[in-house]
């Protein structure tokens, strides 16, 4: 597999507290990889470390083989990595469309900068985001804070796509949403992947993670405890990797 993104002994700290202990992962071009694990396992930290939101050594993260660890987040966006962060972090007080336009402007600036590498070949436009999530066209002028949680998540995903990513990092996009809305959001994944974007999905719902991904990593206390093809991994293996040996659940 030629990895678009890979991590090599990735270590991350918050001050004196070590949150990641040498995490090795690979994401193939166009692949969807799920990252599961209990609260505090280090999933969000992993995404933050990849995105350059935490200081990490250059060799610990590679994009198309190029060492990029510790690159500033805006440069990572220019290089084709976008994140749908925990808690969405939308611009409250701004409309749905203005939230999306921020990403369009950011991508345009990145493309215009000499030396900036082009991001994905996805060609995401406002219209394509509206086709993916029609409600965002209907609510274009609505202040983003008056949308439902699911609609806000759609804005967050749309905003990330408009950065034209080759790699999309999603942090718990289903959290707190009703099953019907979760299905709507997950239904967008095949189209996102068809646009040539590889996806890392951090997901608490193990069944959902397994069914939506090609491969899966489970983390426990800052380490990868299980890696494999999602369709081939058993519940028992996941239970063990999730809670640690001796705490496996059927």
Ligand X SMILES: Nc1ncnc2c1ncn2[C@@H]1O[C@H](COP(=O)(O)OP(=O)(O)OP(=O)(O)O)[C@@H](O)[C@H]1O
Q: How many residues bind ligand X (CB under 6 A)?
A: 11
Work out how close the CB of 4 gets to ligand X at its nearest, in angstroms, rounded to a whole number: 22
Work out how close the CB of 245 gets to Mg ion at its nearest, in angstroms, rounded to a whole number: 23
Work out how close the CB of 224 gets to ligand X at its nearest, in angstroms, rounded to a whole number: 12
Q: Find the binder of ligand X among 2, 16, 17, 112 (CB under 6 A).
A: 17
Work out how close the CB of 29 gets to ligand X at its nearest, in angstroms, rounded to a whole number: 26
Nearest to 72 by CA among 51, 56, 58, 57: 51
- Residue 44 found at the interface with ligand X (CB under 6 A): yes
Task: Identify which range of 43-51, 76-84, 100-108, 126-134 contacts ligand X by CB under 6 A.
Answer: 43-51
Q: Find the binder of ligand X among 37, 119, 120, 158 (CB under 6 A).
A: 37
- Residue 71 found at the interface with Mg ion (CB under 5 A): no
| The 3-state secondary structure of the chain, one letter per residue | CCEEEEEEEEEEEECCEEEEEEEEEEEECCCEEEEEECCCCCHHHHHHHHHCCCCCCHHHEEECCEECCCCCHHHHHHCCEEEECCCCCCCCCCEHHHHHHHHHHHHHHHHHCCCCCCCCCCCCCHHHHHHHCCHHHHCCCCEHHHCCHHHHHHHHHHHHHCCCCCEEEEECCCCCCCHHHHHHHHCCHHHHHHCCCEEEEECCCHHHHHHHCCEEEEEECCEEEEEEEHHHCCHHHHHHHHHCCCCCCC
Residue 124: CB partners within 8 Å, gap ≥ 6?
161, 162, 164, 195
Work out how close the CB of 165 gets to ligand X at its nearest, in angstroms, rounded to a whole number: 20
Work out how close the CB of 36 gets to ligand X at its nearest, in angstroms, rounded to a whole number: 9
Nearer to ligand X, 17 or 127 (CB): 17
Task: Identify which range of 41-49, 56-64, 77-85, 99-107 contacts ligand X by CB under 6 A.
Answer: 41-49
165 interacts with, out of ligand X, Mg ion, none, CB within 5 to 8 A per kind: none
Task: Identify which range of 21-29, 36-44, 77-85, 117-125 contacts ligand X by CB under 6 A.
Answer: 36-44
- Residue 41 found at the interface with ligand X (CB under 6 A): yes
Task: Identify which range of 39-47, 111-119, 134-142, 232-240 contacts ligand X by CB under 6 A.
Answer: 39-47
- Residue 85 found at the interface with ligand X (CB under 6 A): no
Q: Would strands 81-84 and 66-67 be described as parallel, antiparallel, or unpaired?
A: unpaired
- By the 8 A CB rule, do 87 and 156 touch? no
Q: Find the binder of ligand X among 43, 62, 79, 88 (CB under 6 A).
A: 43
Query: Rounded CA gap, 160 and 152, in Å?
Result: 13
| Residues near ligand X (CB under 6 A) | 14, 17, 19, 37, 39-45
| Residues near Mg ion (CB under 5 A) | 43-44
């Amino acid at each position: 597999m030629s990895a678009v993104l890979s991590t090599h002994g990735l270590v991350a700290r918050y001050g004196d507290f070590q949150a990641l202990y040498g995490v090795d992962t690979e994401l193939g071009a166009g692949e969807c990889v799920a990252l599961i694990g209990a609260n505090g396992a280090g999933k969000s930290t992993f995404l933050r470390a990849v995105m350059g939101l935490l200081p990490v050594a250059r060799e610990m993260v590679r994009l198309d083989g190029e060492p990029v660890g510790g690159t500033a987040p805006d440069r990572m966006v220019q290089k084709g990595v976008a994140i749908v962060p925990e808690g969405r972090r939308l611009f409250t007080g701004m409309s749905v469309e203005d939230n999306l336009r921020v990403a369009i402007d950011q991508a345009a600036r990145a493309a215009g900068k000499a030396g900036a590498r082009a991001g994905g070949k996805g060609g995401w436009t406002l219209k394509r985001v509206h086709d993916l999530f029609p409600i965002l066209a209907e609510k274009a002028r609505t202040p983003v804070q008056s949308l439902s949680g699911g609609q806000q998540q759609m804005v967050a995903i749309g905003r990330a796509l408009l950065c034209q990513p080759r790699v999309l990092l999603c942090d718990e996009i289903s959290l707190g949403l009703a099953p019907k809305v979760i299905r709507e959001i997950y239904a967008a994944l095949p189209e996102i992947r068809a646009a040539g974007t590889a996806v890392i999905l951090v997901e608490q719902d193990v069944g959902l993670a397994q069914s939506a991904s090609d491969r899966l990593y489970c983390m426990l206390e800052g380490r990868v405890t299980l890696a494999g093809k999602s369709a081939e991994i058993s519940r028992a293996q996941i239970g063990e990797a999730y809670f640690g040996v001796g705490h496996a659940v059927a």
